[in-house]
Structure 1
Amino acid sequence: MVALEGGHAACGILLPYAIAEIIRAVTRLGDATAGWADALQAPLLLFIALALGEVVLSRAAGTLQFYFGPLQRHAVTRALYAYLQHHSQRYLSDNFAGALAHRIGETSLAVNQIMWAVIFDFWPVAIVFGVSIGLLFQAHLQLALFVLGWAVAFVALSWWLATRCQPYAVQAAAARSETTGRLVDSVTNLFSARLFARLGFERSLLDDQLAVELRAVRRSMWYSERVRWFQFAAAAVLKVGTLWYALRLWSQGLIGVAEFVLATSLSLLIINEARNLSRRFLEFFEFIGNVNNGVRTLIRPHELVDLAEARPGTIRRGEIEFSGVHFGYHAGQTIFENLDLRIPAGQRVGLVGFSGSGKSSFVSLLLRLYDPQQGRILIDGQDIRLMTQDSLHAQLGLIPQDPSLFHRSLLDNIRYGRQEASDEEVVEAARKAHAHEFVAQMKDGYHAMVGERGVKLSGGQRQRIAIARVILKNAPVLILDEATSSLDSVTEKAIQETLDEAMHGKTVIVIAHRLSTIAHLDRILVFDHGRIVEDGSHAELLARGGTYHRLWSGQAGGFLQDDPPAPGEKRSALATAATDGANLALAADPGDDPEGEAPRPDRGEAVLPAAAT
C-alpha cells in the first residue's frame, strides 16, 4: 500500500510536468501544424500514462486497504482480547467490563486509522511536496526555494496548531462520552424513573449534560475554525505569491511559458493536498491518544501467569492441602496467616462463618484467582502454581451464588460445561438440575436466547442452568457457593438430592449461610477472621458448644446474621427463640447422643435450662 499510494501521489503531481512538456512542444511548433502528432506524441503518452497510473495505483491501494484493513483490525482485537483474558480477578474487579470491551474496540480501530493516516494522508503529501519542489528546482531555483519555505512553514505551524487544539478535541470527546453514559444510565433505570414519576427530572438532567457537551464542542470547533482560517490564508499566500513571482520571472525572461504553467499548476496541487493537513493532524493526535489510553488500560503486566515450568496436570483423587499459606488482597491487609489444612480425597466439606471471615478467599485461592504471598496449595500433591491455569480450571467445578450466563441459547450455556457433549447429555444434565421443565415450556426450548447475563431468566432458573452446566462438566473437585440460595424450598430439596448424587466420589467444598444445607456433610470448617476456629462434623461441633453451636443457634429464618452479636449485646426475641428451638432439637435428636445420655457440660455439650426442659 505504501508503494502503490506513493506511486499514485507521484503520478498526480507529475501531471503538471506532462502539461508543461506539451506546452513546450506546442511552443516549438509555433504556427506550423504539420508534424504536430510526432512532436506531441511523447508528452501526450506521458500524460496518458500518468493519468492511468493515478487511477490504477490508487484503486489498487484502495483494494488492498479494503481487503486487509478488517483483517488487521481483527488481529489487533484478537491480540488485545487474548491479553485481557489472562488478567487477574483483581484487575477485572477494578474495571468495568463494558469499558474494557470499549477500549479494545477503540484501540483496534485507532491502530487502523493511524496506519491509514500515515499511508493515505501524510505519505502522499510528502510525495507531493518532494516531487513538486524537485520539479521547481529544475525550473528556477528562487521559485523552488519560495515554495519550499512555504511548505516547511505550513507543516510546522499546522503541527503546532494541532497540538494546541488536541486538548479541546479530547475534552469534547469526553463530554460526548459522558452524555452517552448518562443516557445509557437513564435508559437502564427507566423503570425506576417511571415508578417515581421522575421522567421530567431525567430529561432535565440530560439537558444539563447536553449543555456541558455543547460548550465543550463549541470550544473545540472554534479552535478548529481558527486552524481553518490559517489554512485558507496560507493557501491564498501560496496562490498569489507563486503567481506573482512566476509572472515576474517570466516578464524578465528567466522562465518560459512552460515553466510558468508548471509553477502555477504545482502550487494549486500543493494547496489541494495541504489544505486539510491540520485537520488530519488533529485526527492523527486523537487516534494516537486512543491507542495510548487503550495501552495504558489493557497492556499492564499480568498478575497471575503460568510459570515457565508449569505443565498440564491431572487431578485424579482430589486431595487438597493448604501448607503455610499467608495471603492478603493488599499490602498491610492479612486474611490468612500460616494456614495449614488438609482435605482428604472424596471428602465433602462445608465452610461457614460470618461475612469477611475468609470463606470466599479460601475458595478464590483454590481456584487460583489469586496467589498467596507465602506457602503452597496442593491438589493430589501437585502445587497448583506448577499446573497451567487452563488445566487447573478444567478440573474444578464451581456453582456460584449469582451465576452469569452468556447471551446465547440455553443449549450453548449448558454445553459450556463440556463442549463435546451431545444434545441428549445436555438434556439429561438439565433434567438432573430440574431445569428441563421450564426449558420445555419456553417458545424455542433449548434454543431460546437467555439475554445478556441471562436477564430473561429468573434467578432460580439461572441457578438451575448453572447447576446443569457443572453437572455436565463432571469435574473431580466441586465447589458450591450458596448453589441453591435462589430456589424455592421444594425445588431446593429436589436439587439437593441431585447434588448429593453429583458429589459422590468427588472432593466437595460448600460455602453456606443456611447451615441446614451443610449439616449432612462429612466435615465443617468454621472460619473467623481468616482462622479456622473449629473443625468437625455437624454433630461434633454442636456437642462442643463453641462457635458453630452459636452460629447454629443464632440463625434467623435458617440464615446466618450478617454480623456476630457484640459481647454483652442483648439478642432479639427471634434469635432467642431460635436458640431455644435449636437446643430443644439438639436434646431431642438421639443421633447426637447415641447412648441416650443426658448432656454433659464437661464435654462441651449444651445443658438445657429448666424452663426449656
Structure 2
Amino acid sequence: MHAKNAGFQRAAAAPALPPHTVGFILYCLRQFRGMILLMMVMEAGQAAGGILVPYAIKGLMDSVAAQPAGANLWDTFEQPLLLLVGLNVAEILFSRASGALLVITGPRLRQRSSQLLYAYLQQHSPRYFADHFAGGLAHRISETAMSVNHTTWSVLFDFWPITITFTVSIALLFQAHSGLGGFVAVWVLFYVLSSYWLATRCQPYAQNYAAVRSQVNGKIVDTVTNMLNVKLFARLAYEREYLEGVLEEELREGRRTFWYMERVRWFQFIAAATLKIGTIVYALRLWNDGEIGVGDFAMSTGLALLIIGDARNLTRRFLEFFEYVGNVANGVEIIVKPHEIIDRPDAQPLQVSAGRIEFRKVCFGYRADRPVFENLSVTIEPGQRVGLVGFSGSGKSTFVSLILRNYEPLSGQILIDGQDILQTTQDSLHRQVSLIPQEPSLFHRSLRENIAYGRLRASDEDILEATRLAHADAFIADMPDGYDAMVGERGVKLSGGQRQRIAIARVLLKDAPILILDEATSSLDSLTEKTIQENLDRVMGVKTVIAVAHRLSTIAHLDRILVFDKGRIVEDGNHDALLAQKGFYFRLWSMQAGGFLPDRQI
C-alpha cells in the first residue's frame, strides 16, 4: 500500500522513512536495537570501571593510614589491590567488547542508511531529479548516512559514558560527604547547561564558516573545470584575484569562529580550575575538621580530575552532535519528500498486444496557471509511425513525457491498448515503451554492460546484432578493450555520435512494442544517419513509433505527422498531404535552415 498520511504520499516500493530527523534516525537503527543496547551496557561498564578507580585508591589510602607497624603488606592491601586490578581489567574488557561491536555494527548501519535513502530516492519523479543536481543528491545520501552513524556514536560513546561518569562520581562523593556531592552536582549541572548553551550560540558561526569553505571549494572547482577558457582569454591573474576575494571572506569567517571558540575555552579552563581548586579546598577543610578520612580526600581529588577530563570537550562534542543532526535533517528534508507520482494501490501490469495510444481530453500544465494542453484528444493506431513537429515549447516533449508518465495529466486519460496508464504500474509501462533521447546518458561501466542494460540476460550474439544494427560495431572493434572498454562518467570517453549509437543499440536490444525517438540520430553524420535510419525502419516492424523531429527530413517518410503549435495539434496527415495543404507544416518545411527548424517562428 502507498502511504497518504496528512498529505504525505509515499510510493509502495519505498521504505516508510519518517519525514522528521529523530524518527528517521530511529528508523535506521531499528534492526540494530540489540547491538546498540549491548554497546550501551559495555560503555556503561567501561565508564563505571574508569570512574571507580579513585574509589579503589581510597581503599589503598585508608589501608595505609590504618596499617599498624610490622603488619603483613599483602594482608593489608589485598582487597583494595584486587579491586584496582579488577576495575582496570573490566575497563579493558568492556571497552574492547564495545569496540568489537562497533566494528560489526558501524559499517552495516551506514550501509543500511544508504540503502534506505537510495530506495526512497528512486521513487521520485523526473521533475524532482530535474530540480536537483545528481552529484548533490549522491553526496547528500553519503553525508546523511555517515551523519546517522556519527549521531548514534556521539550518544553512545560521548554523552552516555559522560552521564555514567557524572552519576557515579556524584554518588561516590555523596557517600563520602553530602557537601562534597552537592558541590560537584551543582558544578556538573551548571557546566552541562552552559556547554549546551555555548554550543547553540556557536552553531551559526560554524555553519557560516562551513558554508564559506564550501563556496571557496566550489569556486576553485569551477575555475579548474574551466581552465581552458581561463587560458584562452588570458585571465589567469584575474582568476587569482577573484579567488583572493573569496578566500578573504573565508578568513574573516574563520577568525570569527575561532575567536568565539577561544572564549569557550576560557570558560572551560576557568570552570575546570573552579572544580579542581574548590574540591581540593573543600575536601581539605572537611579532612581537617575530621569529617572525612585521607582516603575520601584522595578519592575526591581523583574524581574531580576525571570529571574535568571528560567534561573539558563537552562543548565541542555538543557542537559536533548538532552538526551531525543538522546533516541528517538536511538529508531528510531534501530526500524524504512526498513522492509526486506513485502507483495506485490496485495498479495492474500494462499488457501491450497492439500498441494503440489514445489521449482523451487531456489537460496538463507544469503550473496550474499555465496550461500546456487543454482537452487534447488524439489516437495513434497500432503499428503506426508518427512524427511530432513544431517550434520549441509547442508541446512535443510534453506529449512524450505524458506517455512515459514522467508527469500525470490534471484531467483526462492516456490509454495504451485501452488501459489507462495511471491505473498500471510504472515499471510495466516502462518495460513496454523504449526511448532514444537526443542526448543519451551512459553509465560509467563497460560498453557491454551499457548495451545489455536493455536486456540484462541478453546473449553475446544478441548484443553483437544490436550494435551492428546501430552501426556501433566498427568503432567498438577499434577500441583496445572492445566491449569491455569503460565509457567514463555519462559516457564522456565517447563522442556524441558514439554515445548515440550505444543508446540506439541498447533500445534495439530491449525490443519494446512502443518506440519513441527524440532526435535519435541528430548527433550522427549524414551517411551513418542514413544507414541507421534504414536499420531502424527495418527493425521497427509492427512497433508503434513516435518520432520527435527538429530536422523534418528525418520524419518525412513516416506514416503520419502531428503538427503542434501552442499545445494544440493544428495539422495531422502524411508529409505529402500536409505540404499540399500549404498550411502550418508547409511553412515549417519552407523555414528550415540547413535542414533544421528555427527555435521559434520568424
Q: What TM-score, normalized to structure 1?
A: 0.91
Provide Cα deviations, 1:487-534, integer angstroms capped at 9, x if missing partner: 000000000001101211101000001111111111110111001111
Q: How many residues align?
A: 564
Residues of 1 paired with 2:110 and 2:302: CA distance?
Answer: 39
> CA deviation digits over 1:71-108, x for unaligned, max 9?
11111111111111111111111111111111111111
Map of 1:561 onto structure 2: 598
Q: Could you tell me which of 12, 26, 42 is aligned with 1:4?
A: 42
State the 1:375 CA deviation.
0.9
Q: Does 1:263 align with 2:295?
A: no
Which structure: larger Rg?
1
- Counterpart of 1:425 in structure 2 is 462
Q: Give the alignment partner of residue 57 of structure 2, picking from 6, 10, 19.
A: 19
Whether 2:77 is the aligned partner of 1:40: answer yes
Q: What are the ranges of 5 or more consecutive residues in structure 2 without an aligned counterpart?
A: 1-38
Matches within 5 A, 1:415-564: 415-564=452-601
The whole-number CA distance in structure 1 between the counterparts of 2:149 and 2:499 is 40
In structure 1, distance between residues paired with 2:501 and 2:327: 42
Distance in 2 between residues matched to 1:136 and 1:199, nearest whole Å: 67
Specify the alignment match of 1:233 in structure 2. Answer: 270
Secondary structure of the 2:570 match is strand
Shift of 1:40: 2.7
1:71 and 2:108 correspond: yes
Q: 1:211 maps to what in 2?
A: 248
How far apart in 1 are the matches of 2:64 and 2:383? 100
Q: Does 1:101 align with 2:154?
A: no
Q: 1:31 Cα shift? A: 2.1
Gaps of 5+ in 1: 566-613
Give the equivalent residue in structure 2 for 1:580: none
- Give the structure 1 partner of residue 8 of structure 2: none
In the aligned structure 2, how far is the partner of 1:530 from the partner of 1:320? 18
**CA distance, structure 1, for counterparts of residue 218 and residue 189 of structure 2:** 43
The one-letter code of the counterpart of 2:200 is: T
Letter of the 1:3 counterpart:
V
Give the corresponding residue for 1:132.
169
The structure 1 residue matched to 2:186, chosen from 149, 156, 170, is: 149
Task: Give CA deviations for 1:124-146 in whole Å, capped at 9, x if unaligned.
Answer: 10000000000111000001000
Q: For the residues of structure 2 that align with 1:351 and 1:563, how far apart are their CA atoms?
A: 16
- Cα distance in 2 between the residues matched to 1:339 and 1:57: 71
CA offsets per residue over residues 372-404 of structure 1, 9 Å max, x none?
100111111111112111111122110000111
Give, in angstroms, the shift of residue 413 of structure 1.
Answer: 0.9
Within the alignment, does 1:391 sit opposite 2:458 as a pair? no
- 1:329 alignment partner AA: Y
Structure 1 residue matching 2:52: 3-state secondary structure: helix
- Give the counterpart letter for 2:538 in structure 1: E
- Describe the SS at the equivalent of 1:177: helix
Query: Counterpart in 1 of 2:66?
Result: 28
Aligned ranges 1:158-173 → 2 under 5 Å: 158-173=195-210
CA distance in 2, matches of 1:321, 1:374: 14
Supply the distance in 2 between the matched residues of 1:44 and 1:422 (Cα, whole angstroms): 74
Match of 1:54 in 2: 91
* CA distance, structure 2, for counterparts of residue 519 and residue 158 of structure 1: 75
TM superposition shift of 1:443 = 1.6
Q: TM-score, normalised by structure 2?
A: 0.92
1:330 corresponds to which of 360, 364, 367: 367
Q: Shift of the alpha carbon at 1:200? A: 2.1
CA distance in 2, matches of 1:207, 1:394: 53
RMSD across aligned positions (CA): 1.1
- 1:400 paired residue number: 437
CA distance in 1, matches of 2:538, 2:298: 93
Distance in 2 of aligned mates of 1:100 and 1:212: 27
The aligned amino acid for 2:514 is V
Spell out, residue by residue over 1:426-461, the C-alpha distance to the aligned partner (whole angstroms, 9 max, x if none): 122111101111111112111111111111111111
Structure 1 position 314 matched with structure 2 position 351: yes
Larger mean Cα displacement after TM superposition, 20-29 or 156-165:
20-29
Q: Equivalents in 2 of 1:75, 1:325: separation in Å?
A: 42
Deviation at 1:312, TM superposition (A): 2.4
Matches within 5 A, 1:78-93: 78-93=115-130
Question: How many Å separate the matches in 1 of 2:431 and 2:69?
Answer: 90
Q: Distance in 2 between matches of 1:335 and 1:470?
A: 29
Matches within 5 A, 1:335-346: 335-346=372-383
Q: Which amino acid aligns with 1:239?
A: K
Deviation of 1:39 (Å): 3.8
String of CA shifts for 1:192-242, please: whole Å, max 9, x gaps: 111111122222222221111111112111111111111111111101100
